[in-house]
Amino acid sequence: MRPDLIQRLAHTQAERARQSLLRRLRSVESVDGARIVIAGKALLNFASNDYLGLARHPALIEALQRGAARWGVGSTAAHLLGGHREEHAALEENLARWTGRERALLFSTGYMANLGALQALLGEGDVCVQDKLNHASLLDAAKMCGAQLKRYVHADTGSAARQLDTQADAAALLATDGVFSMDGDVAPLAELAALCMAQHATLMVDDAHGIGVLGTDGAGSVSEAGVSAEQAPVLMATLGKALGVGGAFVAGSAALIDGLVQFARPHIYTTAPPPALAAAASAAVDIARFEGWRRDKLARLIAHFRRGAVERGIELMPSRTPIQPVLIGASKATLTATQALEGEGFFVPAIRPPTVAQGKSRLRVALSARHEESDVEQLLNALARAVGRARTER
Ligand SMILES: Cc1ncc(COP(=O)(O)O)c(C=O)c1O
């Protein structure tokens, strides 16, 4: 008899629960600055990717309201079938200017942008070389596009070179996160760019966590590394993290973007995002570009957090970005630490397999320009207690 699919799913889920790996959907009841309320309890939020503190900025809210007043809520159609409005086009131009590329193309989510870019560029017989710690959407995109996926040791250009060498004649794309989402470290982009130039491979950077945060005007990790548009011809970034809105884009040459419009299925076969969202994202780009004090404040908070962690004996990972993970190791101990922090009024999510490797469970602390130094100080004190207890549990 055929297995029952729902039963099988339930069985897999029970196994996940047994390993302390069950994920839990929780509704946030309200947000006020860096504070959120969950299950009736006010918590200082260290889980948000709103790195620059723009998600509730009055200029974004006003742009969204103006967009909605002009267009209504939904775009009502795919980009190619009447859904592409002036706000989308203006945002694409704004993003291209900011990132120093000829053109940009919007996608509804970063996940879809990665699927679309890889599916348009790669096919059977090609090779896609990726960092082992790349975001799931890049790995899924490679699996779906039909190319051979070869993963290299994290941030190791030599290992990437060896993977490229295994397929010396195949068309090749090397894809890396600019900033790694669960580790917070920055990819060795200048080295990877030199490797790709030497090997005639195309470099693609997913800068979901670098855009707005790195580089003098927030143009991201590629700009900060001094890597040119020719060296990194495919740049993807999201609008839902430092920009505080939602959606994503791919930026590059006119030839790349024209090709994506024709062949990127997640752009073609989906309803365009609401034009009001595009208006809000354009307002966010202007603030992210020109209000450098937000990056300066973030840098001060990051330095404070790292200094305070050292003083308290909390081991950190080598990150200079707002993503500051605290490695615990075992999933159960990580869960206990998260719960202890919540008991003390802090929301710091536990990141466990399969998002990270077995034995690498961690607390993912995300800092935002919305935090104050006093928030960071309180978190450090609570973390020291929670991590201390987790260590004895290991
Ligand atoms: C590195 C990276 N790429 C892509 C994505 C997907 O972006 P989105 O949330 O817009 O789908 C994320 C996070 O969500 C990410 O961290």
Give the relative orientation of helices 136-145 and 110-121 as an angle to the nearest 10 degrees. Answer: 30
Is residue 206 in contact with ligand 1, taking CB distance under 6 Å? Answer: yes
**pLDDT band, residue 24 (cuts 50/70/90):** confident
CA of 107 to the centre of ligand 1 (A): 12
Mutate to test the pocket of ligand 1, among 131, 132, 135 (most ligand atoms within 8 A of CB): 135
Mutate to test the pocket of ligand 1, among 48, 118, 238 (most ligand atoms within 8 A of CB): 238
Summarised one tens digit per residue, pLDDT across range 371-384 is: 999 999 999 999 99
Q: What is the pLDDT of residue 20?
A: 83
Summarised one tens digit per residue, pLDDT across range 153-180 is: 999 999 999 999 999 999 999 999 999 9
Is residue 137 in contact with ligand 1, taking CB distance under 6 Å? Answer: yes
Task: Locate 161 and state its tokens.
Answer: 């070179």
Which residues, 6+ apart, have CB-to-CB distance to 378 below 8 Å? 44, 346
CA of 237 to the centre of ligand 1 (A): 8
Mutate to test the pocket of ligand 1, among 109, 114, 133, 137 (most ligand atoms within 8 A of CB): 137
CA of 238 to the centre of ligand 1 (A): 7
- Taking CA atoms only, the protein residue closest to ligand 1 atom 14 is 110
Q: What is the pLDDT of residue 33?
A: 85
Summarised one tens digit per residue, pLDDT across range 347-358 is: 999 999 999 999
Q: Residue 390: pLDDT above 90?
A: no
Is residue 375 in contact with ligand 1, taking CB distance under 6 Å? Answer: no
What ligand 1 atom has the least distance to the C-alpha of 239? Answer: 10
Amino acid at residue number 352: R
Q: Residue 339: pLDDT above 80?
A: yes
Mutate to test the pocket of ligand 1, among 51, 111, 211, 213 (most ligand atoms within 8 A of CB): 111
Is residue 131 in contact with ligand 1, taking CB distance under 6 Å? Answer: no
| CB of 242 closer than 8 Å to CB of 51 | yes
- Give the Cα separation of 318 and 288 in Å (integer): 25
What ligand 1 atom has the least distance to the C-alpha of 134? Answer: 1
Is residue 211 in contact with ligand 1, taking CB distance under 6 Å? Answer: no
**pLDDT band, residue 32 (cuts 50/70/90):** confident
- Taking CA atoms only, the protein residue closest to ligand 1 atom 16 is 181
Percent of the chain with pLDDT over 90: 95
Mean pLDDT of 43-57: 97
Which of 69, 91, 89, 82 lies closest to 280, judged by CA?
A: 91
What ligand 1 atom has the least distance to the C-alpha of 246? Answer: 10
CA of 210 to the centre of ligand 1 (A): 11
Q: For the chain, what is the total number of helices (H) and then of strands (E)?
A: 14, 14
Q: What is the pLDDT of residue 389?
A: 85
Give the relative orientation of helices 157-165 and 189-199 as an angle to the nearest 10 degrees. Answer: 20
Is residue 243 in contact with ligand 1, taking CB distance under 6 Å? Answer: no
- Taking CA atoms only, the protein residue closest to ligand 1 atom 4 is 110
What ligand 1 atom has the least distance to the C-alpha of 181? Answer: 16
Mean pLDDT of 116-129: 98
Strands 148-152 and 41-45: unpaired
Which of 245, 257, 232, 229 lies closest to 113, judged by CA?
A: 257
Task: Locate 217 and state its tokens.
Answer: 């005007």
**DSSP code of residue 129:** E
Q: Residue 394: pLDDT above 70?
A: no
- Taking CA atoms only, the protein residue closest to ligand 1 atom 8 is 110
Q: Residue 23: pLDDT above 90?
A: no
CA of 308 to the centre of ligand 1 (A): 29
Mean pLDDT of 280-305: 98
Q: In what order do the strands lie in the sheet with 323-329?
A: 323-329, 361-366, 350-351
CA of 110 to the centre of ligand 1 (A): 5
Is residue 208 in contact with ligand 1, taking CB distance under 6 Å? Answer: yes
Q: How far is CA 359 from CA 131, 284, 348, 354, in A?
A: 19, 38, 19, 11
**pLDDT band, residue 21 (cuts 50/70/90):** confident
Amino acid at residue number 235: L
